[in-house]
Amino acid sequence: MENLILFAVLMTVGYISGTILEKHHLTSIREREEQMVSLPTIMLKKPLHEEGIKEVKLVGGSVVISIDYFKKIVASLANLFGGNIATYETLVDRARREAILRMKEDAKDASEIINIRIETSSISKNANRNVGAVEVLAYGTAVWR
């Protein structure tokens, strides 16, 4: 009985702290996205306007975000029944947005970032191949005019 109570307390603490940290990270992402909205990022291989280019440089941003224990349990339950695993969706979305922001911060005062690419990989913690974290790498070519 004591183990069950301890498990419930740890799950509750994990859920609350994970939710607070995730909300704080999402708020930070939103604020930084608003600051960087003026820097266009496009997947085209060539700049929108090729005249007046002063410099081009490869820029990138990467992030590794781990999944908390509570989300891992919820994802395991969802995996049993099949369907969408929303806990992983939010994890990948946060990681993708953070990697793009870091790429933009690497470009600082560029006119645009072209030919952007996003690579995603999961990092397994054990032999069961359970996802422990997700890594996202965003890179592109910054163009200065």
Contacts of range 5-13, beta carbons closer than 8 Å, 24 or more positions apart: 11/69, 11/70, 11/73
Domain at 8, CATH number? 3.30.110.70
Task: Round the average pLDDT of the chain to a whole number and report it.
Answer: 85
- The DSSP code for 45 is S
Q: Which domain holds residue 43?
A: 2-144
Considering its fold, how many domains does the chain have in total? 1
Give the residue among 142, 136, 145 at the shortest CA–CA distance from 59. 142
- Give residue 127's pLDDT band: very low, low, confident or very high (50, 70, 90): low
pLDDT at position 47, please?
A: 84
Cβ atoms of 51 and 128 within 8 Å: the answer is no
pTM: 0.81
Please tell me the predicted confidence (pLDDT) of residue 136: 95
The Cα 113–Cα 58 span in angstroms is 9
Contacts of 126 (CB under 8 A, 6+ apart): 132
For 31-50, write each residue's pLDDT tens digit. Answer: 999 999 989 898 988 887 78
Going along the chain, which residue ranges are E strands?
Answer: 55-66, 112-124, 131-144
Can you tell me the mean pLDDT for 79-96? 79
Decide if pLDDT at 11 tops 80: no
pLDDT over 80 at 57, yes or no: yes
